Structure 1
Amino acid sequence: MVFTFFLVLLGACQSSTPQHSISTSQIQEPTRTYATQHVILVVIDGVRYQDSWGDSTLANVPRMARELVPQGAFHPQFFNQGETLTTAGHVALTTGHHQKIENDGTEIPDFPSVFHYYRQFTGAPASKAWIITSKDKLEVLARTSSTEAAAAFAPSVNCGVNGLNTGYRPDTTTLRVAKQVLARHQPKLMLINLREPDTEAHEGDWNGYLKAIQQSDRLVADFWKWLQKQPRFQRNTTLLVTNDHGRHTGRRFKNHGDNCEGCRHISLLALGPDVKPGTVATRARSQADVAATMAELLGFPIPQRDGEPMTELFQQHALTGE
Structure 2
Amino acid sequence: MSLLRIATAILTLGVTSAALADDAPSPSTPALAKTRTKNVILVMSDGLRWQEVFGGADRALLTKKEGGLAHPEATKAAFDRETVQARREALLPFITKVVAKQGRLYGDVGGESRVTNGKAFSYPGYNEVFTGFGDPRIDSNNKFDNPNVTVFEWLNAKPGFHGKVAAYGSWDVFPYILNRNRSGLKIVACWEPPTGENLTPAEKMLGEINANVHRTWPECGYDVFTYYAALENLKREKPRVTFIGLGETDEFAHGGRYDQYLTSARKFDQYVEELWKTVQAMPEYKDQTTLILTTDHGRGDAPVEWKSHGEKIKGADRIWVGVLGPDTPPQGDSPSLTANQNQIAATLAALLGEDYNAYQPKAGPVIPSALGAGR
Shift of 1:80: 1.4
- Whole-angstrom distance in 2 between the partners of 1:158 and 1:291: 21
Say if 1:259 and 1:285 are closer, same or farther in 2 by CA, change over 3 A.
Answer: farther
Residue in structure 2 matched with residue 80 of structure 1 by the alignment: 115
In structure 1, stretches of 5+ residues that fail to align are 1-25, 145-150
Distance (whole Å) between structure 2 residues aligned to residue 108 and residue 72 of structure 1: 35
What is the match of residue 128 of structure 2? Answer: 92
* Counterparts in 2 of 1:272 and 1:181: CA distance versus 1, 3 Å: same
Distance (whole Å) between structure 1 residues aligned to residue 221 and residue 135 of structure 2: 26
| Counterpart for residue 23 of structure 1 | none
Whole-Å separation in 2 of the counterparts to 1:276 and 1:40: 18
Q: Give, in whole Å, the separation in 2 of the partners of 1:256 and 1:315.
A: 33
Q: Is the 2:113–2:339 Cα contact (8 Å) retained in structure 1? A: yes
More deviation in 104-113 or 266-275?
104-113
Task: Please name the residue that 2:292 is paired with.
Answer: 240
Q: CA deviation at 1:250?
A: 2.7
Partner of 1:262: 315
Distance in 2 of aligned mates of 1:105 and 1:231: 41
Q: 2:188 aligns with which of 148, 151, 158?
A: 158
Quick one: distance in 2 between partners of 1:301 and 1:278? 25
The Cα offsets for residues 168-218 of structure 1, whole Å up to 9 and x where unpaired, read as 221111111111211222111111111111010111112111222122122
2:168 counterpart residue number = 132
Note if contact 2:32-2:354 (Cα within 8 Å) is conserved in structure 1. Answer: no
Contact 1:281 1:313 in 2 (8 A): no
Q: Look at both structures and tell me which one has the larger radius of gyration over its CA atoms.
A: 2
What SS is found at the alignment partner of 1:157?
Answer: strand
Q: CA contact under 8 A between 2:99 and 2:105: conserved in structure 1?
A: no
Deviation at 1:66, TM superposition (A): 1.5
Q: Does 1:37 align with 2:47?
A: no
Deviation at 1:134, TM superposition (A): 0.8
CA contact (8 A) 1:130 1:189 kept: yes
SS of the residue aligned with 2:32? coil
SS in 2 for 1:253: helix
Residue aligning to 1:286: 340
* 1:314–1:52 CA distance, 2 compared to 1 (3 A): same
Q: Contact (CA 8 Å) 2:102, 2:330: kept in 1 or not? A: yes
Cross-structure match for 1:4 = none
Q: SS at the partner of 2:36?
A: coil
* Distance across 2 between alignment mates of 1:87 and 1:293: 20
Which letter maps to 2:366? P
SS of the equivalent of 1:209 reads: helix
* TM-score, length basis structure 1: 0.80
Q: Is the 8 A contact 1:134 1:160 kept in 2?
A: yes
Counterpart of 2:351, as a letter, is L
> Offset at 1:282?
3.0
C-alpha distance 260-281 of structure 1, shift in aligned 2 (>3 A):
farther
Secondary structure class of the residue paired with 2:101? helix
Partner in structure 1 of residue 91 of structure 2 = 60
Which of residues 178, 184, 196 is equivalent to 1:142?
Answer: 178
Given the superposition, is the C-alpha separation of residues 54 and 257 from structure 1 closer, same or farther in structure 2, using an over 3 Å criterion? same
Which amino acid letter does the alignment assign opposite residue 198 of structure 1? D
- Which whole-Å CA distance do the structure 1 matches of 2:182 and 2:297 have between them? 29
Aligned partners of 2:132 and 2:344 also within 8 Å: yes
**Does 1:181 find its partner at 2:181?**
no
- Matches of 1:281 and 1:131, distance apart in 2: 34
Q: Secondary structure at the match of 1:43?
A: strand
Matched letter for residue 188 of structure 1: R
Equivalents in 2 of 1:291, 1:50: separation in Å?
24
Question: Could you tell me how far apart the structure 1 residues matched to 2:161 and 2:283 are?
Answer: 21
| Distance in 1, Cα, partners of 2:177 & 2:330 | 31
Q: 1:36 to 1:153 in 2, by over 3 A?
A: same
Deviation at 1:291, TM superposition (A): 0.4
TM-score, scaled to structure 2: 0.70
Show the counterpart of 2:143.
106
Give unmatched runs, 5+ long, in structure 2: 1-22, 57-83, 194-216
Count how many residue pairs are aligned between Structure 1 and Structure 2.
Answer: 284
**Fraction of identical pairs, as percent:** 26
* Distance in 1 (alpha carbons) for counterparts of 2:317 and 2:43: 18
Paired residue for 2:102? 71
User: Would you say the 8 A contact 2:321–2:339 is kept in 1?
Assistant: no
SS of the residue 1:292 aligns to = helix
SS of the equivalent of 1:278 reads coil
Taking the aligned partners of 2:105 and 2:168, their CA distance within structure 1 comes to 24
Q: Which moved more, 1:263-272 or 1:213-222?
A: 213-222
Residue 157 of structure 2 aligns to a residue whose secondary structure is: helix
